[in-house]
Amino acid sequence: MDTLTIRRPDDWHLHLRDGAMMRAVLPETTRHFARAIIMPNLVPPVVTGADAADYRDRILSAKPRGSKFQPLMTLYLTEETQVGDLRAAAEIGLITAVKLYPAGATTNSASGVKDFTKVKRVLENMAQIGLPLLVHGEVTDPDIDIFDREAVFIDRVLDPIRRDIPGLRVVMEHVTTSDAVDYVRAGGPDLAATITTHHLVINRNHILAGGIRPHYYCLPVAKRETHRRALVAAATGTDTAFFLGTDSAPHTDTAKLQPCGCAGCFTAPNTLSILTEVFEQHGALDRLENFTSLNGPAFYRLPANDDTITLRKGEPVSYPAKIDTDDGPVTVFDPGMPLHWRVIED
Ligand code: DOR
Ligand code: ZN
């Protein structure tokens, strides 16, 4: 098989940023993806319906001419989030989900939640209207080892919330451990997970062995190889609870290459080539479409896209090492293996 036609993919977790950075990275996503869930961790974050409307307008006006790309907006949950504002934004279809960052867990998460009892009423309302909660599933307790933070979050935070608020629909974002995969598999129809492109490819050795590689540093940090294998099994398997959220998270090289550098892998340009390669390696090309284009819409109760893209296999494809932005260059994720599949029809 050397061509593969699939329904047009969606990206269920994307950082587009704002301003010059957004203008530079947006075409990398709109080229192949029909829709994306847009992360709200701007500075300041997208916390109200009005913020989301303004941000959506900025995205739509930066979108390449003729593109039908649809940004699916999210609100950043804070302890001050107002139920009325959130419900109104959901009712008019302005927002598709709400993002929960534990305070301090990652880039621009200082306004996140510290005391989960303070957001209980908001979460109950979300359960009533079926609005999904997207969780950055890591505890921030400095006593917890960074490689254990996802597993501990499930036990200490996520499972208690889900028991407390039955019917709350939850997506565990960018899962990185077999613990999370097992939890999602057992979680029933109201629980799903996104998996990034880079976590299917790298383990923690890629970041740390033989020299430190800041472009592989992201959060949650990549774990050991057994966990990466569990993620590949979940993505390429038959469980519809797993779907693509690239977490493509551009930072300038200046911001990455610091004594304290930013977390994030920029995968938008080459994600589909990488995923197709990974699925082929695992004999699962026939399930790529489920992961990129069908399971996500099914969970979000949206129709799958009508149109298709075609990938063709051939000589290794090269991608630029960096893209230029008016803020400075941004390094494209290097999967460390030849990529043979390219998107030929949009
Ligand atoms: O690696 C990451 N980068 N993980 C996140 O959770 C946030 C993201 C960002 O915004 O840069
Ligand atoms: Zn993210």
- Specify the pLDDT at position 346: 58
The mean pLDDT of 244-269, rounded to a whole number, is 98
CB of 264 within 6 A of ligand 1: the answer is: yes
Mean per-residue pLDDT for 139-161?
A: 96
How far away, in angstroms, is 238 Cα from ligand 2 center? 25
Residues taking part in catalysis: 247
Q: Is 175 in the pocket of ligand 1 (CB under 6 A)?
A: no
- The Cα 226–Cα 149 span in angstroms is 17
Average pLDDT over residues 324-343: 98
Question: Average pLDDT, whole number, for the chain?
Answer: 97
Query: What does the pLDDT read at residue 69?
Result: 98
Q: Which two tokens stand for residue 115?
A: 């005391």
pLDDT band at 112 (very low <50, low <70, confident <90, very high): confident
Task: Report whether pLDDT(105) > 80.
Answer: no
Check whether 269 has a pLDDT greater than 90.
yes
Does 107 have pLDDT greater than 80?
no
Burial pattern 109-128, b for ≥16 Cβ within 10 A else e, equals: bebbbeebeebeebbebbbe
Q: Determine the distance separating the centroid of ligand 1 and the alpha carbon of 167, expressed in angstroms.
A: 28
pTM: 0.97
For residue 218 and ligand 1, the question of a CB distance below 6 A is answered with yes
Q: Read off the pLDDT of each residue in 295-309 and give the average, rounded to a whole number.
A: 98
Please give the number of the atom of ligand 1 that sits closest to the Cα of 136: 6
Query: Is a pLDDT exceeding 80 seen at residue 345?
Result: no
Report the pLDDT value the prediction gives residue 317, as an integer from 0 to 100. 97
**Is 3.20.20.140 the CATH number for 3-345?**
yes
